[in-house]
Chains A and B, each alone.
Chain A
Amino acid sequence: MCLAIPAKILNRRQDNISKVDFGGVIKEVDVTLVPEASVGDYVLVHAGFAIGVVEEKEALETLELLRQMAEQSDASDGEQDGAS
């Protein structure tokens, strides 16, 4: 439940809603909590909010790990609870 997913910031707007890229999936998240993050930075996203800035290397490794886990999970049970 406390897992945050890394994503790359694609834009910054006045209202603090940014488009971010989760390894290919683009979503809008709230970036109010990471005022220091700019376009191109990687942030940790949890429950629709960016909660911290993270190094690119860490972000890419984590995204790869999550991709593997998702594949394994799909293969083993084909079921996924709601994300939180």
Chain B
Amino acid sequence: MHQTVNRMELHKGIDPGSRYSKALLEKILLEDIEHLSFMEVCGTHTMAISRFGIRRALAGKIELHSGPGCPVCVTDDAEIDLAIRMAGEFKATLCTFGDMMRVPGSSSSLLMEKAMGSRVVVVYSPLYALDIARQEDRQIVFLAVGFETTVPSIALTIMRTKQEGVKNLSFLSLNKVIPPALNFLCENREVRIDGFILPGHVSTVIGVKPYEFIPRRFGIPCVISGFEQADILSSILMLMDQNKRGEPEVRDQYFRGVRREGNLKAQEVIEEVFEPCDSRWRGIGMLPLSGLKLKDKYKDFDAMERFNVKPQVVYSSQVKRACKCGEVLIARIKPPQCPLFAVSCDPEHPVGPCMVSTEGTCAAYYKYERAGV
């Protein structure tokens, strides 16, 4: 108990949470189970764990790893290159979420291309790309990046584009789905995983069922978690409990935002527009059926079909090969173990996507968990 109180005192400064969070933290530290190792696969969880000092507060008791949970970070060089070609070689207006602007491809980024004269427009919603297409004659391409949270919005926009007969808008679908990545992580464990903290808003869309293979086939406990400090601490407690009982299952801590069956309407529009395809993940490589491509009936709106292009595997420069984002994404290393981290790679001058993305693991460590921060 004494040790716990000291630890609480030690972390007073980095735990601005409520009394409830403090009670949860204390309960975790008092649990008679040690050395568990959990992984989250959601950029928002990555940031929250770093920001609230949860990793440090639990060090020695629970180890927390970050997995490939940020769609920006897992987008491959070759896929960024394709977006750059759309705006450059094919002279389309490329509409993208802001997070993608600075993500490096093999030799450039959308931000650099924009500075060189390419038409790249940051949009908050795919609907804005449709608005632009209605008003302009030139080709508009929407860079469709995101997990299941984002995919229904894109699918609905594609349906509208077809319904309205808008001919000059197409979609470069780099969308990915989470369960195949979780399967990869279970089959190729770089670190011990005694539990997954699963993403709340992805689960709002897909529900609980797509994760059930994890406890069933791999015996690994899962908890779908909300995003606040108390949510994450509760989820950790729930994972500890499952480990103690030896009864792995998928539990839902974020029941306020997730229904067991997910959002059926959202699943219906995804199913209407997209079908699974193999997709390349940064740090992992090609994962079977982990991406989404437009179904045949929507192929007129598929930018790869329209411009007859495919992602090409590219040769990376020496400095880019020194970047360890791929290993960070599968938790083989932690960001400070990358030779570039905080030396030649920082949020002002990021080399890899985990530092570029505001929800990347390297950005989270840089901001909140760097030595001396």
Contact = CB atoms under 8 A, between A and B. Distances in A.
Given A1-B150, A4-B201, A51-B201, A33 B265 contact: yes
Given A1-B99, A2-B43, A47 B257 contact: no
Interface string B238-278: 00000000000000000011110001011001000000000
A84 interface: yes
Interface in A23-74: 30, 32-35, 44, 46-49, 51-52, 54-55, 57-58, 61-62, 65, 69
B70 A1 contact: yes
B43 A48 contact: no
Given A2-B147, A4-B149, A47-B153, 13 more contacts: A1-B43, A1-B99, A1-B145, A2-B44, A4-B201, A30-B156, A46-B150, A47-B146, A51-B204, A52-B263, A81-B101, A82-B97, A84-B150
Interface of A: 1-4, 30, 32-35, 44, 46-49, 51-52, 54-55, 57-58, 61-62, 65, 69, 76, 81-84
Chain B: number of interface residues, binned into ranges: 35 or more
Contacts of A55: 256
A2 B202 contact: yes
14 contacts: A1-B70, A1-B99, A1-B357, A2-B43, A30-B156, A34-B263, A47-B124, A52-B204, A52-B259, A52-B266, A57-B256, A61-B228, A81-B99, A82-B99
A48 B123 CA distance: 10
Please list the 4 inter-chain residue pairs (A to B) with the smallest Cβ-Cβ separation, ordered nearest first.
A82-B98, A48-B125, A84-B97, A58-B256
Interface centre among A47, A58, A81 (most CB of B within 10 A): A47
B71 interface: yes
Contacts of A4: 149, 201, 204
Interface of B: 42-44, 51, 70-72, 97-101, 122, 124-128, 145-147, 149-150, 152-154, 156, 199, 201-202, 204-205, 226-228, 256-259, 263, 265-266, 269, 357-359, 367
A35 B265 CA distance: 8
A61 to B, nearest CB: 7
A58 B70 CA distance: 23
Contacts, number: 119
B199 A33 contact: no
Given A52-B204, A61-B228, A33 B99 contact: no
Interface centre among A33, A44, A69, A83 (most CB of B within 10 A): A33
A2 B125 contact: no
Given A30-B127, A33-B265, A51 B153 contact: yes
A3 B199 CA distance: 9
Interface centre among A2, A54, A58, A81 (most CB of B within 10 A): A2
